[in-house]
Amino acid sequence: MRLWGGRFEGGPADALTRLSVSVQFDWRLAPYDLMASRAHARVLHRAGLLTDDELGRMIGALDDLEEACKAGRFRPTVADEDVHTALERGLLERLGTLGGKLRAGRSRNDQVATDFRLYLRDHVRTIVSRLVDLQTALMSQAERHVDTVAPGMTHLQHAQPVSLGHQLLVHVHSISRDIERFKDWDRRAAVCPLGSGALAGSSLPLDPRAVAAELGFDAASPNSMDAVSDRDFAAEFLFAAALTGVHLSRLGEEIVLWASQEFRWIEMDDAYSTGSSIMPQKKNPDVAELARGKSGRLVGNLMSLLTTLKGLALTYNRDLQEDKEPVFDSVDTLLLVLPAVAGLVSTMRVNVSKVEASAPDGFALATDLAELLVRKGVPFREAHEAVGHLVVWCQVNDKDFEDLTDEELIKVSPHFTPDSREVLSVPGAIAARKAYGGTAPDRVREQLVSLRVAVDGYAEWASGN
C-alpha cells in the first residue's frame, strides 16, 4: 500500500519504516484529507478525468469512508505509512482500481500542506472560543470588583491603589491581542496549496482556484514551490500559541500569589484546587501552576519548529514531517488549559476586606500627595523630594501618613499644609485617576462596555459567522 516504490527492487528496512511512519500522529488530519479529496474529485471531473458515474461513486465512497472513520470501523494499520496511505487503502477497498484515479494531479506534498491548514484554521476558531470563555470569566469578576480597591504594584512592591476590576481587565486586554493575532493569522493561512503537486503544479487541466473556494480558502497559492515548502503558517500559529501561553502564565502567577497565605486575596473553589497527600490543611493552586508551567511547553514547540525549518533547501524535505507534532501538542495544550483556567477564575472568591485593607500599605498614596503639590505650583522634582523625605520620617517614627499631625507635616516640609490630607484617601485617589485608560471606577466601567462589544465579536468570528 505504499504510495511509492515502482522504481525500487526491494522494500524498506524495518528501521526506515519505523522512522518514516507518521500515521500515529497525523491520523487526526483524516477528516480534512477526506474533505480535500472530495474537492479534488470534483476538479478531476470538471477536467474530464472522471465521468459523472465515476464522480458519484467516488464521492459516495469518500462519504462512506468518513463515516467509517468517525465510527471507528476504519482505522490505520501498522502497515500504513501516513494518513494519506491509510485513506487511499480505504478508498481502494471500496472502489477497486477506480480509487487510484483520485491520486492524479496531486502529491502528498500539496495534500498534507492543505490538510494541515484546514486543520489549524478549524482548531484556531475553537481556541478563540475558549479564550472568549476566559475573557468572559475575567470580565464577570471585574464587574463585581470595579469598586474594590487593591494595591497596584510594580516590582511586586506596593505602588499605587487601583481598582481590582481594572487589574483583572489587564488580562482581558492581553487575551484580546492574542485573539487578534489568531484572526490575523487566519487571513494569511487562507491560501490553498492543493493543485501545486509535488512542487511544479500539474500538466492536467485542473483548477486550483475552484478547489480553494470549495475548501473555504480565500485564494489558491500563486507559487507551487512556495505552496509545498511553506510552513510559515505553522510557525506563526506556534508563536501566537506561545504568547497566549505566556499571558496565561502571568495570570496564573498572579492567582498563585493571591491565593497564598501572604496575600490571602482570594479563596479558590474546591473544584479547581487540590490538596496535599501529607498535609491535610493544604489547598493548592494547581490549575494556575499548570497554566504557568505549560507555557514552557508552548514556547518549546515554537523553538522546535523554527529550528527544523532553519536552512531547509526548497522545496519539500522530509524534515517537514516534524512540523505536525509541535503544532498538535500546542493545540491540545491550549484546549486543555483554557477551560480549567476559565473555571478557576469564574469560581474564585475575592476576600474584599483583606484586599482593601492592604491597598494603602507601603505609603501607596505618596504619588497622590506629590501630585497635590504639583497642582499647587510646586515643581514635581521638589514635590517628589519632599514626599520622599516624608516617607523616611514616617518610617523612622513608625507612622503612616494617616497618623501624622499638622505640626508633623509642616515640620517635614512647609509644602505640607493641613489640606494635604484631602488626598490621603484610597477611594479619593482611585476616583482622581479618571483620564482615559485610568483606574477610576467610571473609566473601568467604560472599559467593560467596550470589551463586551469586542468579545461578542470574537465569539461570532469563532462560530464561523
Q: How far is CA 365 from CA 156, 157, 202, 437, in A?
A: 16, 13, 72, 19
Tell me the CA distances in angstroms from 309 to 227, 233, 379, one per residue in order. 15, 12, 56
Strand ranges (E), 289-366: 349-350
Answer for the pair 418, 424: CB distance below 8 angstroms, yes or no: no
Q: Does 276 participate in catalysis according to the annotation?
A: yes
Cα 384 to Cα 413: distance, rounded to the nearest angstrom: 12
Question: What is the residue-wise DSSP string for 12-42?
Answer: PPHHHHHHH--HHHHGGGHHHHHHHHHHHHH
- Measure Cα distances from 250 to 143, 274, 339, 358 in Å: 21, 20, 17, 22
For 161, the 3-state DSSP assignment is strand
CA distances from 161 to 173, 377, 426 (A): 20, 24, 7
Nearest CA among 203, 205, 223, 244 for reference residue 331: 244
Residue that the C-alpha cell 515502482 belongs to: 6
The C-alpha cell at 315 is 522545496
Cα radius of gyration (the chain):
30
Q: Distance between CA 288 and CA 452 in Å, rounded?
A: 25
Residue carrying the nine cell digits 473544584? 271
- H or E stretch at 67: helix 52-71
- Lookup: cell for 370: 506629590
Q: According to DSSP H, which parts of 310-440 are helical?
A: 324-347, 352-357, 366-375, 380-396, 406-412, 426-432
Exactly one of 20, 260, 276, 463 is catalytic; which is it? 276
Q: Is 295 a catalytic residue?
A: no
Q: Are 365 and 149 in contact (CB under 8 A)?
A: no
Considering only the C-alpha atoms of the chain, give the largest distance between any 2 of them, rounded to a whole number of Å.
102
Q: Which of 155, 203, 277, 450 is catalytic?
A: 155
Query: Which residues carry out catalysis?
Result: 155, 276
